[in-house]
Copies of this chain bind each other. A is one copy, B any other.
């Protein structure tokens, strides 16, 4: 193919390869999505990224930037063109521990940054699922969240600067190693969550914070959704500064509860996981407050003390998504965000909508942020079930918009929510999206078919 041969001539040997299955899908594989591409570029430097973008832009070839491929929105699934994977750009360019700062390349796996920070007494709070596979560049391009976003915010809040290659093939920086920047439009913030449709993020400056001495979670089990949601609301109403405030509904407990670190009561239909952090004294004080609020209506509490037991709880929590996917062989997992007071309504609606479309359903996620992983479990080889799941998702999006929420709290738009985004934006919002896209990418070659309706 011309793109592959031509790019191979411009780049070091081994940089341009034939597409393999690995580079043609993301986590939407579980609902049957896979793409095709003409070539895969694996640049090792920002200059090589610029070479790829410049050649493609000149020759009207689509560019599909790729991180760890763990997205749930089809954002990394190519429909022709060149897949530009950042996997070889994984350097920590600088870790300035005394200044609470890191400068990393886009392909660095999230978990690796987390470890490097910890080794230096620091912490990078964003903790999206699949941290071993996902990469910082992808986290930034999707503005990834995670349980600790409740207290610490999503990925974008920790990014002070971005280096990106934008059409027609030029490296720019927006922000930098500086902690404040009020000069001009927030191009940095615009690249955050842009899903590769404006440019290719090649590196970032990240803000870190001193690692809290202790993190003490408590899991509370309830007999029904009403009691559980009331507990979530009570934590906030009491003003307890929880670091994370998660939930699982009955269906999620059913498929994932067997692997929970301790046996769960048979009648547990709802779980709240809240975490307290800070100095050891402070974490203990806050966990006592959490316990006081969560305990009265709970069936049981599980409050791990040791570092190993705490890690086991979060490892289990991180595995919930996979457990749900395995239950029926596949899943369509949405991630609507709603104002917190609509949490119970959204959890119950997920089940009701699923039942109406003959789909097993469940939800879990970030209760305090009103961010649900509403999930329809299905056999991914069943096209009728996939079509029903698509309609069910549409009803969830309508619920989110009706309550003042968002069609995506953390997965982004990709291909799978483009239609829904159009609804959400309205005419003027749509026109603004197209205007911004045009300012960066007049030929529409950056990750075409993604995000912009």
Please give the residue numbers on chain A whose beta carbons come within 8 Å of chain B beta carbons, in ascending order. 96-101, 121-122, 142-143, 145, 149, 153-154, 156-157, 166, 170, 172, 174-187, 189-190, 192-194, 209-211, 233, 236-237, 239-241, 278-279, 281-282, 285, 335, 337-341, 366, 368-371, 404-413, 417, 420-421, 424-426, 428-429, 431-440, 451
Contact = CB atoms under 8 A, between A and B. Distances in A.
A183 to B, nearest CB: 4
B436 A406 contact: no
Given A282-B282, A439-B438, A178 B337 contact: yes
A169 B56 CA distance: 39
B187 A189 contact: no
A153 B142 contact: no
Given A156-B186, A181-B337, 11 more contacts: A96-B341, A142-B182, A175-B406, A176-B339, A178-B405, A180-B370, A180-B409, A182-B413, A190-B190, A436-B436, A436-B439
Given A172-B426, A340-B99, A183 B413 contact: yes
Contact of A421 (B154, B179, B183, B428): B183
Contacts of A432: 166, 172, 185, 187, 439-440
A149 B179 CA distance: 10
A186 B189 contact: yes
A contact patch SS: mixed
A27 to B, nearest CB: 15
Nearest to A406: B181
Contact of A239 (B122, B439, B440): B122
8 tightest CB-CB pairs across the interface, nearest first?
Answer: A435-B439, A210-B239, A189-B189, A98-B237, A180-B409, A181-B406, A183-B408, A177-B339
Contacts of A174: 429
Given A184-B425, A339-B99, A438-B439, A179 B407 contact: no
Contacts of A420: 183
Contact of A184 (B410, B439, B451): B451
A365 B317 CA distance: 43
B404 A179 contact: no
A132 to B, nearest CB: 21
24 contacts: A99-B340, A100-B236, A143-B182, A154-B180, A154-B182, A170-B428, A178-B339, A179-B337, A180-B366, A180-B369, A180-B371, A180-B409, A183-B420, A183-B421, A184-B433, A186-B189, A186-B190, A186-B192, A211-B239, A279-B285, A281-B281, A282-B282, A431-B439, A432-B440
Contacts of A429: 172, 174, 184, 187
Contacts of A425: 184
A379 B204 CA distance: 43
Contacts of A410: 180, 182
Contacts of A153: 157
Contacts of A154: 180, 182
Contacts of A366: 180
Contacts of A438: 435, 439
A369 B278 CA distance: 22
A279 B177 CA distance: 31
A351 B89 CA distance: 42
